[in-house]
Amino acid sequence: MEIPFSRWYEAIWIRRSRRLFNSRLIDSNTGERLHNVCKEFNPFSGVRAVFVNRPPDKVFKGIVLHYGKIRGAPAIIAFIGDMNTPHIHEKLGYVGEGIVLEATAMNLGTCWVGVSFRPELISSFITIKKNEKILAVTPVGYTREKWSLEERIMTGFGRTHKREPLENLLAGGREESWPEWIKPALEAARVAPSAVNRQPWRFTVKSDSITVSVNNLRDTLNISKRLDCGIAMLHIEVASLQSGMNGAWEFLDSPHVARFSSVR
Ligand SMILES: Cc1cc2nc3c(=O)[nH]c(=O)nc-3n(C[C@H](O)[C@H](O)[C@H](O)COP(=O)(O)O)c2cc1C
């Protein structure tokens, strides 16, 4: 599947993690579209996303850190990685975020969940192969347009959505010499979601490329920072396509994650 970049670019700016859902069920048309995007957006082998159209409340655990429990979602999408595949975390972040952006474009609420869920419950309705692991999940469903007080409290009145200024995320490269596509791509990466909003990505710009690295090698909450970086990678690519620039990814060894270079 080609990246529907205009649609996903727009979704990048409106996506927020949503944790309270209304009880409206996902109709069969919408369910089929979600199922199709899970099946068709598969740029890397070793990653799969499975749409499960059944109420998952018990899948989500209670309060983790300051977050409240996710409630009322009619369905979930599970992100499953084959743990023998190289660079599995970054690949899974990239693929999962494509699906999250498509759901956002369809007016559905989502929230990446890497900690506060019970994989054993999900594997009671999806077959998980020997080398596979459910690395994350998102609830998916309809939310209130206006945020309730409870949801605002859950997000620290927007604190969990605040991002670092771009200059704090740059590991190298002077802005004056950047080609035009670079700044919008970095701005899109900056607003990517990450576990506990840790924003672990650092960017190095060199002539016509962006290298994504992690800020340090300490993972927190048992979630790889490389997964967050995979999410930011998708945002970089979507924004570049929106600027008319085609690029390609090359995966790199730690502490680097991947380099995106223009393909002329
Ligand atoms: C990999 C990953 C794991 C996450 N795990 C959880 C989680 O277990 N529980 C939760 O409530 N939110 C979780 N989040 C949501 C983040 O807290 C949220 O994305 C971040 O605070 C930024 O806020 P925003 O998504 O509204 O922009 C996770 C996000 C990512 C990317």
Question: pLDDT, tens digit, for every residue of 138-160?
Answer: 999 999 888 888 888 888 888 88
What residue's CA is closest to ligand 1, atom 13? 113
- Span 150-201, pLDDT tens digits: 888 888 888 888 999 999 999 876 787 899 999 999 999 999 999 999 999 9
Q: Which helix (H) or strand (E) holds 13?
A: helix 5-14
Centre of ligand 1 to C-alpha 110, Å, is 10
Centre of ligand 1 to C-alpha 112, Å, is 5
* β strands within 42-103, DSSP E: 47-52, 75-82
Pocket of ligand 1 (CB under 6 A): 16-17, 19, 64, 67, 111-116, 136, 160-161, 193-197, 223, 227-228, 231
Cβ neighbours of residue 63 closer than 8 Å, sequence gap 6 or more: 69, 116
The alpha helices in 15-164, defined as continuous H runs, are 28-40, 88-105, 119-122, 149-154
Centre of ligand 1 to C-alpha 196, Å, is 6
pLDDT of residue 61 exceeding 90, the answer is no
Please state, as a whole number, how many other Cβ atoms lie within 10 Å of the Cβ of residue 101.
28
Q: Please state, for a pLDDT cut of 70, what percent of the chain lies above it.
A: 97
For 5, list phi and psi in degrees, rounded to 5: -65, -35
Distance between CA atoms of residues 202 and 211, nearest Å: 8
Whether 100 contacts 76, CB under 8 Å: no
The pLDDT of 248-264, averaged and rounded, is: 94
Give the global pTM. 0.96
Q: Which of 91, 112, 151, 191 to mutate to test the pocket of ligand 1 (most atoms within 8 A of CB)?
A: 112
**How much is the pLDDT for 55?**
76
Distance between CA atoms of residues 146 and 161, nearest Å: 16
Q: Which of 14, 113, 228 to mutate to test the pocket of ligand 1 (most atoms within 8 A of CB)?
A: 113
Token representation of residue 54: 């059944």
SS3 assignment, position 229 = helix
Centre of ligand 1 to C-alpha 160, Å, is 8
User: What residues pair up with 60 in beta bridges, in sequence order?
Assistant: 117
Centre of ligand 1 to C-alpha 224, Å, is 13
CA distances (Å), origin 44, targets 11, 92, 131, 220, 227: 22, 9, 16, 25, 14
